[in-house]
Amino acid sequence: MDLQTTSTATDPAVRLADLRASAKGWHGVQLAVLGFIGLCGVLQGASPSDPHWLQVLAGVLVLASLVLACTATVLVATAAWPVSEGPVSEGTGDASGQVPDEVHRTARRLRSGIGLTFVAVVVLAVAATSSWWPTSADAASSPSVEVSTNQGSACGELRDGGPGAVTIATADGDVTVPLPQLVSLRPVSGC
């Protein structure tokens, strides 16, 4: 191994340039993650049968994911393209240690930004699981209907009545109406 190659690998200015190049690559990945979070936030549609608290929680998690991803993007962008730094010397830095300190700060920003990017994706995945909320037995049951005959009406869930009849499960029990006596049958949201 060449002595010059070894000193170049440990040179803080070279390490800083390598960190910034890595940060520029990660910045592209983060922009893709931001776009994905934005798309998921737009497409996130809560089912009306989901509990209100779950809909609110999913919305808050999507927004939290967006904030985390934006923060991560800023951290990585400042590691890739610092805005408040003077020129970097080619040596190991001056007596104050400017270059080694900048290497440490840049590495910390890059690690923090990458970590927050993964956390943002996990938070978004948790928000997306709200769409798999199980429906209650009432939501999965038969639709409610109102049946009218010449003698009155009944409201309940539609059941299999067999040939030539309609059966409705009411609060008072099953009511079977022969089709010739049926005046109207209409769906209702509830009884």
State residue 3's pLDDT score: 44
Question: Which pLDDT value is given to residue 87?
Answer: 53
| Amino acid (one-letter) located at 133 | W
Which whole number is the average pLDDT over 60-76?
Answer: 92
CA distance 74 to 82: 11
Give the per-residue pLDDT at 7.
45
Cα separation, 150 vs 178, whole angstroms: 12
Given this model, what pLDDT does residue 70 score? 92
More confident residue, 33 or 96: 33
The residues near 99 (Cβ < 8 Å, ≥ 6 apart) are: 12, 13, 16, 88, 89, 91, 92, 93
Q: How far apart are CA 89 and CA 99, in angstroms?
A: 8
β-strands 144-149, 182-188: how paired?
antiparallel
pLDDT exceeds 80 at position 94 = no
Q: What is the pLDDT of residues 158-185, one digit of tens each?
A: 887 788 888 888 888 888 888 889 888 8
Write out the residue limits of the CATH 2.30.30.100 domain(s) in the chain: 141-188
Mean pLDDT of 2-9: 47
Residue 146, classed as helix, strand or coil, is: strand
Q: How confident is the model at residue 34 (pLDDT cuts 50, 70, 90)?
A: confident
pLDDT, averaged across the chain:
80
**For residue 82, which of 158, 33, 24, 151 has the smallest C-alpha distance?**
24
Residue with tokens 């922009």: 31
pLDDT digits (tens, 9 = 90+) for 111-164: 999 999 999 999 988 988 877 777 654 445 567 889 898 888 889 888 877 888
Nearest-10 crossing angle of helices 98-128, 12-43: 20
b/e for 106-120, b at 16 or more Cβ within 10 A?
bbebbeebbebbebb
Residues 6+ apart with CB under 8 A from 73: 27, 30, 31, 34, 113, 117
Grade residue 4 by pLDDT with cuts at 50, 70 and 90: very low
Amino acid, single-letter form, for residue 116: L
Question: Can you give the pLDDT at residue 142?
Answer: 60
Tokens 């005959």 sit at which residue? 149
The residue assigned the tokens 């290497």 is 103
The CATH code that applies to domain 141-188 is 2.30.30.100
- Please give the pLDDT value at position 64: 94
